[in-house]
């Protein structure tokens, strides 16, 4: 199945703008952007996007809390999640994977190569 729809939850406006340009203009994906966990949880109802990208450090509700809330919804139990974070110590990465993330993209990321990186992640899930 071809990856077409991605949701991104990121509190930093500049990074959301970069994500939108990178994923939609460079990558050609349909992108839904949310500024925090509560707004994403309120909007993400019904059929889930094919992939969700979550910032780890956000005010109010961090990425792990958003992931746990999504996993309580039957339709989101198998939706692939990728964390985005600047906190990339090996024990932190292990925590994210153990929580159910497919992988972690370390910030800062290259907006020009991000779509290909996402496609590689997606392709690895298809096998």
Nearest one of 17, 22, 21, 85 to 55, comparing CA atoms: 85
pTM of the model: 0.95
Q: Give tens-digit pLDDT for 61-78.
A: 999 999 999 999 999 999
Mean model confidence pLDDT for the chain: 94
Q: Would the pLDDT of 127 be above 60?
A: no
> C-alpha angle 17/118/73, rounded to 5°?
85
Question: Average pLDDT of 4-21?
Answer: 97
Q: List, in order of start, the domains of the chain with CATH numbers.
A: 5-126 (3.40.50.2300)
Segment 10-21 mean pLDDT: 97
Strand partners, 44: none
* Distances 119 to 50, 52, 61, 124 between C-alpha atoms, Å: 12, 13, 27, 8
Report d(CA 73, CA 64) in Å as an integer.
15
Strands 5-9 and 30-34: what pairing? parallel
């Amino acid at each position: 199945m071809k990856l077409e729809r991605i949701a991104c939850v990121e509190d930093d406006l500049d990074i959301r703008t970069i994500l939108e340009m990178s994923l939609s203009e460079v990558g050609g994906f349909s992108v839904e952007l949310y500024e925090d966990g509560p707004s994403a949880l309120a909007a993400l109802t019904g059929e889930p996007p094919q992939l969700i990208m979550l910032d780890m450090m956000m005010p109010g509700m961090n990425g792990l809390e958003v992931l746990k809330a999504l996993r309580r919804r039957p339709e989101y139990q198998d939706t692939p999640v990728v964390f985005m974070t600047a906190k990339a110590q090996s024990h932190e990465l292990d925590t994210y994977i153990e929580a159910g993330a497919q992988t972690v993209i370390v910030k800062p990321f290259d907006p020009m190569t991000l779509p290909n990186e996402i496609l590689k992640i997606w392709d690895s899930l298809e096998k």
